[in-house]
Structure 1
Amino acid sequence: MAEHLKVNEFEYGDDLKKYTAVKSFQAIFKPSANFHYRAESAEEILDDPKKLRAMIRDHHENQCPRLAALDDYSKARNNAIYDNEGRRVEQGKADHRAAHNFAKTINTFDVGYNTGIPIKKISDNDKVNEIIQEYDKQNDIAALDSELWRDMKKYGRAYELQYRNKDDEDRSVISSVFETFVCYGLDVERTPLFAVRYLKYRLGDREKVVISVYTDSEIITYRPTTMASLRLVEEKREQHQWGEVPITEYSPNRYRMGGYEDVIPLIDLYDAAQSDTANYMTDFNDATLVISGDLDLGKYSVDDYIKMKRNNLLLLRNGINPDGSRSETSAGYIYKEYDVNGTEAYKDRLQSDIHKISFVPDLTDKEFSGTQSGEAMKYKIFGFLQDVSTSQRGFTKGLMRRYRLLLNIKKYVRESSGANLEGLEIKYTPNLPKAVFDELKAIIDAGGEISQETLLSLASFIEDVQAEIGRVKEEQTVQVNRNITQIFNGGYNGEEQ
């Protein structure tokens, strides 16, 4: 009988695997995985290969894993749901792993709101405007700004490298956060002392790395090496005239926290809840068949019971009725009960908390149904707007440094003289739906006048406003000529003759 009881412990048998604790993102990656590198001077580090090697290795081994985890969540490779090998109690049961890309939703909304409409750079100096417009056009800056913002809000940092190519054109490109870092000084302004780019590539079955260090006056390149050895043998030095370290770091806040970093534990909980729901629905189809009655259980061995259990079969000896007779033999299925309302309410609460804490609204929510004007949306994303203001200040600081470097190189090559950033404004236009009809009605009701060109430009189906105006004038000219002809051919009374 003891054997029978032991076998029937189908849920909590000692031979079964237990749940394993899953550490949250914040528990895995300590603050040391995101601190800034600092030194008294560039020479303190660059004159000592051991110190530079230690700094590169620390970035590669301690900071890159955190950045990689953030990148994974933006691509629905959620670590907690996929890396947990012991999620299910019982072997042989369904083990679905469903990752939900809330990180992408949050990041995409943030990027679209701030850079969906290109950022404007306007100066009081016409020469500065000309230089910036030419530079922006050559580098497709609208797209570059969008990608820089995406990295900045994904990783809490983004890097831009400026250089002059062989055609004497000034260029800007993104430098990967996995291969770039900046070392700052100890002064209160945190002046960049130097930046490091260590580019990894594969040569056959070996991975090589090329290290370049950018100071405020030169670029130091080392011979290809490996991450294992990091032998720093200087290969060449090149002078540059950007006036400062030509790599700019963009940060949304002084903590270098990404837009969805603090809600990753909630995303993990939602993944687990949805995965468990899917597992239940699958296991429900494999419910255990229970046969109870006047059965001879003694003839079965422990191995027999284990095989029965694996095949979802359970045998039970019948009981005794109140009148002393044995109960009849019966068969039926048993399965774990599923609290539909409680489980769905739990998942709804998690989803709501993810949007609430990240400040990014759930646009699928019924509160966002119908057409929303820009002003109405502002009240619903008030918390998000407060975070946006901080991010925009950090991004503006990086943009101002970009154009300061640009004017430095222009002055050196004598393509500009006397131009400075005084009076330069960076303007962000929120990419929100607009209630144009309501705005037009308010202007007209107030006695305002709007040109036909402006009105036509508001129509989504008109691609070329000037061409449309030209066609209207042509039609008016044809109608006037027709009316004149009718007058001279017998009088015009407003009707065809």
Structure 2
Amino acid sequence: MGEMLKVNEFEHGTDGPYDVSRSFQQLYGPETNYSYRADNAEEILNDTGKLIAMIYDHCHVQCPRLAALDDYMKARNNGIYNDECRRIEKERADYRAAHNFAKIINVFDVGYNTGVPIKKVSDIEQINKFITEYDRDNDIEALDGELWRDMKKYGRAYELQYRNEKDQDRSVISNVFETFVCYGTDVERTPLFAVRYPIYRIGSQERVRVSVYTDNEIITYKTCQIASLKLEEEKREFHQWGEVPITEYSPDRYRMSGYEDVIPMIDLYDAAQSDTANYMSDLNEATLVITGDLNLQKYSVSDLAEMKKANLLLLANGINPDGSKSQTDAKYVYKQYDVNGAEAYKDRLQKDIHKISFVPDLTDDSFSGTQSGEAMKYKLFGFQQMAKTGQRGFKRGLIRRYRLLMNIKNFANEADNTDLGNLTITFTPNLPKAILEELKALVDAGMEVSQETLMGLASFIEDIQAELERIQNEKEKEQDDAVMKQMFGGMENEQSGVLEETGDGAEEA
């Protein structure tokens, strides 16, 4: 009789730091994601002990959660790759299959919201000029995409603005593992100061250089070892940004990752796929069962254990109902695998991951095919609602970025005022469009479309104005050719007529 083995029960150890009884949310509680606050900046900055405690808390309490989120993005899933979690029987297969659903969710989110460059338009022309120059010099299109990626990966992202030695205004992304902002206790959550502490390694020593950014100066401390952090002030530099020049971007007040709530289901899917691989591998190692008149007493426990490792099982004769002994027999015993049940379980997990994260499964047959644009919108309805929430949080950060820009422009006498005007920030969803169907419906309804607009829809036309100029040149050339043909074509007819008359006269003569 075959040995019945159940699937979807990956045999984790019970004494490891991560097991099936503890989900991601249980491992990383609210203390790993709260915002730092104080009554005023002096309360912390005048007491280096409090500042050190805040840095240590961020490094040792909050960063482990951020590192775990980063691991799931890179298919280093903690739930399946934990060294303490392996199958109990060490001689059995122990495959670990990690699936980075987190990457699928994050890439779709980033592409949808920032694949088409974010538009920023003010009703003040000078402001538009400053924004255009700033965006061009800082490659803001790429920076916005990376900020959104961090925001939806970690639930937070940081942008540092500074003016370099050439008096050029710059924006860069600041690593979430070495950056945090302390806010006031007022209802507006005014940023009091920001801390940036990049850690680097020299040999076996980890060193750190701490910088604190307030609303009017940058305080830099001497480099020291992170293990024995001691803050000795090195220098102070005044800046003219008018506010703390580090901006935090967050999708909402919870600062959650876009895939954080589905990590337990990702762990279940990893375990299910790993179980399938392990059991399918063990299927190839059938056990040989020999039944006969054997004296099992001469075998020790260690001998039996070695037989088990060799996939050999010896059994003594049994007694039949009529009192006779059973016959000597040898056969292979195979494990039984519930294929339909296991696959249905994994399909359900995969669907739940996409359903709860609101990110559609692009490989699903029901998502593809010839469907109308309205039907596609309904499939994305849940994701679009979530995207709107993230866009609101991102807009606040963008407005603060350009407000800081105008502050320093005003200080440098490059701007007349710090008013952004009616700054409008527009997100354009990066989705495939049925342009032909839409265009046909509009033209049938009586709308007129210019050639320049139609050319803008063509993927093979890079420069619309150059194409229009070529068309105009061709038309002018055709007109010139028509005039020349009319003029010289008439003269040829006249000449042929003269020749015909001359020929006729000669014949008469």
TM-score range, shorter chain: over 0.9
CA distance in 1, matches of 2:489, 2:237: 87
1:207: Cα distance to partner?
Answer: 1.3
The answer to which of 328-337 and 63-72 deviates more is: 328-337
Contact persistence 2:206–2:227 (CA under 8 A): no
Q: What is the CA deviation profile of residues 419-475 of structure 1, one whole-angstrom value per residue up to 9, with x for unaligned ones?
A: 412300110000011110011111111111111111122111222223333333343
Partner of 2:504: none
CA distance in 1, matches of 2:152, 2:51: 28
Query: How many pairs does the alignment contain?
Result: 480
Contact persistence 1:127–1:419 (CA under 8 A): no
Structure 1 SS opposite 2:210: strand
CA distance in 1, matches of 2:12, 2:437: 61
1:476: Cα distance to partner?
Answer: 3.1
- What one-letter code is carried by the residue in structure 2 that aligns with 1:454? T
Q: 1:328 to 1:18 in 2, by over 3 A?
A: farther
Structure 1 SS opposite 2:224: coil
- What one-letter code is carried by the residue in structure 2 that aligns with 1:219? I
Partner of 2:158: 159
Partner of 2:215: 216
1:87: Cα distance to partner?
Answer: 3.0
- What one-letter code is carried by the residue in structure 2 that aligns with 1:364? T
Q: CA RMSD in A?
A: 2.0
The reply on whether 1:280 has 2:289 as its aligned counterpart is no
Partner of 1:259: 258
Structure 1 SS opposite 2:366: helix
Q: What is the CA deviation profile of residues 372-404 of structure 1, one whole-angstrom value per residue up to 9, with x for unaligned ones?
A: 565432210111111111111100001111111
Describe how 1:191-340 pairs up with structure 2 within 5 A: 191-340=190-339
Contact persistence 2:406–2:417 (CA under 8 A): no
Q: What is the CA deviation profile of residues 96-115 of structure 1, one whole-angstrom value per residue up to 9, with x for unaligned ones?
A: 00000100000000000000
CA distance in 2, matches of 1:335, 1:245: 68
Identity value in percent: 68
Q: 1:401 to 1:373 in 2, by over 3 A?
A: farther
CA distance in 2, matches of 1:419, 1:217: 17
CA distance in 2, matches of 1:378, 1:479: 48
CA distance in 2, matches of 1:440, 1:24: 50
CA distance in 1, matches of 2:85, 2:166: 58
Contact persistence 2:403–2:418 (CA under 8 A): no
Contact persistence 1:219–1:237 (CA under 8 A): yes
TM-score, with normalisation over the residues of structure 1? 0.93
TM-score, with normalisation over the residues of structure 2? 0.91
Q: 1:185 to 1:18 in 2, by over 3 A?
A: closer
1:282: Cα distance to partner?
Answer: 0.6
CA distance in 1, matches of 2:411, 2:476: 57
CA distance in 1, matches of 2:208, 2:274: 40
> 5+ residue gaps in structure 1?
1-8, 12-16
1:46: Cα distance to partner?
Answer: 0.4
1:18: Cα distance to partner?
Answer: 7.2
Partner of 1:347: 346
1:289: Cα distance to partner?
Answer: 1.3
Q: What is the CA deviation profile of residues 54-73 of structure 1, one whole-angstrom value per residue up to 9, with x for unaligned ones?
A: 00000000000000000000
Partner of 1:79: 78
Contact persistence 2:407–2:418 (CA under 8 A): no
CA distance in 1, matches of 2:99, 2:170: 37
- What one-letter code is carried by the residue in structure 2 that aligns with 1:28? L
1:484: Cα distance to partner?
Answer: 3.6
Structure 2 SS opposite 1:367: coil
Partner of 2:43: 44
CA distance in 1, matches of 2:265, 2:4: 31
- What one-letter code is carried by the residue in structure 1 that aligns with 2:23? S
Q: 1:379 to 1:97 in 2, by over 3 A?
A: same
Contact persistence 1:180–1:196 (CA under 8 A): yes
1:24: Cα distance to partner?
Answer: 1.2
Contact persistence 1:113–1:431 (CA under 8 A): yes
CA distance in 1, matches of 2:121, 2:234: 42
Partner of 2:467: 468
Structure 2 SS opposite 1:438: helix
Q: 1:234 to 1:264 in 2, by over 3 A?
A: same
Contact persistence 1:184–1:193 (CA under 8 A): yes
Contact persistence 1:374–1:433 (CA under 8 A): no
Describe how 1:408-423 pairs up with structure 2 within 5 A: 408-423=407-422
Partner of 1:360: 359
Q: 1:199 to 1:423 in 2, by over 3 A?
A: same
1:84: Cα distance to partner?
Answer: 4.9
Partner of 1:102: 101
CA distance in 1, matches of 2:372, 2:402: 35
The reply on whether 1:55 has 2:54 as its aligned counterpart is yes
- What one-letter code is carried by the residue in structure 2 that aligns with 1:328? Q
Q: What is the CA deviation profile of residues 20-65 of structure 1, one whole-angstrom value per residue up to 9, with x for unaligned ones?
A: 2432110110100000100011000000011001000000000000
Contact persistence 1:97–1:275 (CA under 8 A): yes
CA distance in 1, matches of 2:110, 2:85: 37
Structure 2 SS opposite 1:99: coil
Q: What is the CA deviation profile of residues 212-252 of structure 1, one whole-angstrom value per residue up to 9, with x for unaligned ones?
A: 00000100000001111110100000001111100000000
Describe how 1:394-473 pairs up with structure 2 within 5 A: 394-473=393-472
CA distance in 1, matches of 2:397, 2:458: 36
- What one-letter code is carried by the residue in structure 2 that aligns with 1:269? L
Contact persistence 1:80–1:268 (CA under 8 A): yes
- What one-letter code is carried by the residue in structure 1 that aligns with 2:385? Q
Partner of 1:5: none
- What one-letter code is carried by the residue in structure 2 that aligns with 1:108? V
Q: Point out the structure with max Rg over C-alpha.
A: 2
CA distance in 2, matches of 1:364, 1:403: 40
1:368: Cα distance to partner?
Answer: 1.7
CA distance in 1, matches of 2:81, 2:490: 87
> 5+ residue gaps in structure 2?
6-10, 497-509
1:363: Cα distance to partner?
Answer: 0.7
1:334: Cα distance to partner?
Answer: 1.9
1:206: Cα distance to partner?
Answer: 1.5
Partner of 1:131: 130
1:323: Cα distance to partner?
Answer: 4.1
CA distance in 2, matches of 1:405, 1:440: 42
